[in-house]
Every structure is written in structure tokens, then in C-alpha cells.
């Protein structure tokens, strides 16, 4: 697990108020929505804001979200390829 995985998990826990959850509780390949972490549609909007605020990535196509926000691994992969800061 690289630093970006850990950094992203910390940001998600903080930004989405995942109380009582620790970095070690989130698996890299675990689904973020549905049965996995159980995030909802408002959380998805917060993740879009997080991408722009922390990594300078503006999602132009909302349909991309489903693939990007599938797991921590998919988010890290997308951030590494597209980050501007």
C-alpha cells in the first residue's frame, strides 16, 4: 500500500464523517458503495469535491464516477493518472 492509498483513506474517513472507522478498516479493493463501505449518493458528491479540492481533478463526465469510485484502488489509479496538484 503506497502513501496515496493511506492519504486517500484518511481523507475519505474525515470528509465523509466515517466515525469509528480506521484506515486499516478499509480494504483497497473493497467496494465503496453498496455492500462494501456503504456510501450513499451524497457521499459520491463529496468524493467529487474531494478530487477537485485535493488533487485538482474536475470530473467532466458524471458517468465516469461509477468506475472511478468503485474502490480505493480505482480511485488511486485515476488520481495518479490525472492529478494536477
Partner 1 sequence: MNKKYYIKDYVILRQGRLIRNGEVLLEAGNPELKDFLRKIYKSFGMRYPKFFKMDDLSRLGFLAAEILFDQEKPEADTALIFANSSSCLETDKAYSKTMSGFPSPSLFVYTLPNIVLGEISIRHGLRSENLFLVQDRFEPTTMIDYSHSLLNKAKASNVLCGWVDLHNTDYDVFLWQIAASGRLEHNEEELNKIYLPE
CA distance 22 to 60: 31
| 17 vs 24 by CB, closer to partner 1 | 17
Length of the chain: 85
The answer to whether residues 54 and 11 touch, using CB atoms and an 8 Å cutoff, is yes
* Interface pick for partner 1 out of 17, 24, 63, 84 (rule CB under 8 A): 17
Q: Which stretch binds partner 1 (CB under 8 A): 1-9, 28-36, 46-54, 76-84?
A: 46-54
Q: What phi and psi values does residue 33 have, to the nearest 5 degrees?
A: -110, 165
Minimum distance between the CB of residue 2 and partner 1, rounded to whole angstroms? Answer: 25
Determine, following the binding rule CB under 8 A, whether residue 42 of this chain makes contact with partner 1: yes
Residue that the C-alpha cell 486517500 belongs to: 8
Which of 8, 16, 26, 79 forms a contact with partner 1 (CB under 8 A)?
Answer: 16
Nearer to partner 1, 4 or 44 (CB): 44
Amino acid at each position: 500500500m503506497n502513501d496515496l492509498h493511506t492519504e486517500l483513506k484518511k481523507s475519505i474517513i474525515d470528509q465523509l464523517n466515517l466515525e469509528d472507522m480506521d484506515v486499516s478498516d478499509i480494504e483497497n479493493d473493497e467496494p465503496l458503495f453498496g455492500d462494501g463501505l456503504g456510501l450513499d449518493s451524497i457521499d459520491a458528491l463529496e468524493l467529487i469535491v474531494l478530487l477537485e479540492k485535493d488533487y485538482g481533478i474536475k470530473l467532466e463526465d458524471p458517468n465516469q464516477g461509477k468506475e472511478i469510485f468503485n474502490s480505493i484502488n480505482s480511485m488511486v489509479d485515476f488520481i495518479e493518472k490525472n492529478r494536477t496538484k
